[in-house]
Structure 1
Amino acid sequence: MLSFRLLTALSATRSYSLNSQNLRFVEFTIARRNFSNALKEVKSGSSTKKSPNGTFKLTLLGACIGAVAGSTYTLYTRICDKNSHKEHERTPPKVIEYFPADVRITKRFINPNDTSGLDIVLFQYQTCPFCCKVRAYLDYMGISYSVVEVDAVLRQDIRWSDVKKVPMVLIRQQDGKYVQMTDSSAIISLVASSLHDKRMDVGELAQFYPQISYFDDDGKKRQDILNKYFLMYQDRTPKNMTREIEENERKWRTWADNHLVHLISPNCYQTFDEALETFEWFALAGEWDIHFPKWERDLMVYCGATAMWVIAKILKRRHQLTDDVRSHMYDALNKWTADLKKQNTKFMGGKKPGLADLSVFGVLSSMEGCQTFKDCLQNTNIGKWFYDVKELVQQNRGKLHRERIVGVPALAQ
Structure 2
Amino acid sequence: MSNSHDTNHTARPLLGCIADDFTGATDLANMLVREGMRTVQTIGIATVAPTDVDAIVVALKSRTIPVDQAVAESLAALAWLQQQGCRQFFFKYCSTFDSTPQGNIGQVTDALLNALGADFTIACPVFPETGRTLYRGHLFINNQLLNESGMQNHPLTPMTDANLVRVLQQQTAGKVGLIGYPVVAQGIAAIAADIASLRQQGVRMAIVDALENSDLYAIGAACADLPLVTGGSGIALGLPGNFIRAGLLSVSQNNQASALPTIDGLSAVLAGSGSLATNAQVTHWNITRPSFCIDALAVARGEPVVANALAFAQKHLSLQAPLIYATTSSEQVKQVQAELGVERAGALIEDTLAEIAKGLFALGVRRFVIAGGETSGAVVKALNVTALRIGKQIDPGVPATASIGDVPLALALKSGNFGAVDFFEKALRELGDDRIQSSLGATGQ
TM above 0.5, yes or no, is no
Task: Give the structure-2-normalised TM-score.
Answer: 0.25
User: Higher helix fraction: Structure 1 or Structure 2?
Assistant: 1
Task: Give the structure-1-normalised TM-score.
Answer: 0.26
User: Higher strand fraction: Structure 1 or Structure 2?
Assistant: 2
